[in-house]
C-alpha cells in the first residue's frame, strides 16, 4: 500500500484513539458508556513503552511488534482480560485491543507491512 498523506494519516490515527472508544463504549455498555469510554481512553497509557525506545518518537517506525506493550504476546494477554466477568475489565481489554488495532492501521497507512516478518 502506498503511503497516505501525513495529515490524513494523523487525523485517522488520533480519531481512532480519541473518538472511536466512545463509539465502541456506546455500542457495548449503554448504561455505563461514558465511564467505559474514559476507561478505554485511559488504555492509551500503554504508550509509556515508547519511552524505552531510542529515539522516543520516530514517525516512520511501526509500534506494532517494536514496543513491548505492542507485541503479539501483549495482545494475547489483553485478549485474556476479556474473560474477567466485569464490564470495567472488559472495557480495559477492548481499549487495549483497539489501541493495537489503531496502531496497526497507522502502520499500514504509513506503508509498513505488518506480516512481512511471518513470510
92: preceding bond cis by omega (within 30 degrees): no
* Residue 1, pLDDT score: 52
pLDDT-based confidence at residue 113 (cuts at 50, 70, 90): confident
Name the pTM for this structure: 0.91
Q: What pLDDT is attached to residue 5?
A: 85
With b meaning 16 or more CB within 10 Å and e meaning fewer, what string describes 85-94?
A: eebeebbbbb
**Cα separation, 6 vs 47, whole angstroms:** 20
Residue 119 binned pLDDT confidence (cut-offs 50, 70, 90): very low
- Residue-wise pLDDT for 50-67, tens only, equals 999 999 888 788 999 999
Amino acid at each position: 500500500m502506498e503511503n497516505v498523506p501525513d495529515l490524513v494519516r494523523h487525523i485517522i490515527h488520533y480519531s481512532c484513539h480519541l473518538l472511536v472508544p466512545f463509539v465502541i463504549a456506546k455500542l457495548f455498555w449503554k448504561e455505563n458508556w461514558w465511564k467505559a469510554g474514559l476507561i478505554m481512553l485511559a488504555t492509551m497509557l500503554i504508550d509509556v513503552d515508547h519511552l524505552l525506545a531510542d529515539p522516543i518518537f520516530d514517525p516512520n517506525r511501526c509500534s506494532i511488534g517494536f514496543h513491548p506493550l505492542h507485541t503479539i504476546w501483549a495482545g494475547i494477554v489483553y485478549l485474556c482480560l476479556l474473560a474477567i466477568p466485569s464490564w470495567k475489565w472488559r472495557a480495559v481489554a477492548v481499549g487495549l485491543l483497539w489501541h493495537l488495532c489503531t496502531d496497526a492501521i497507522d502502520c499500514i497507512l504509513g506503508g509498513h507491512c505488518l506480516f512481512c516478518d511471518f513470510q
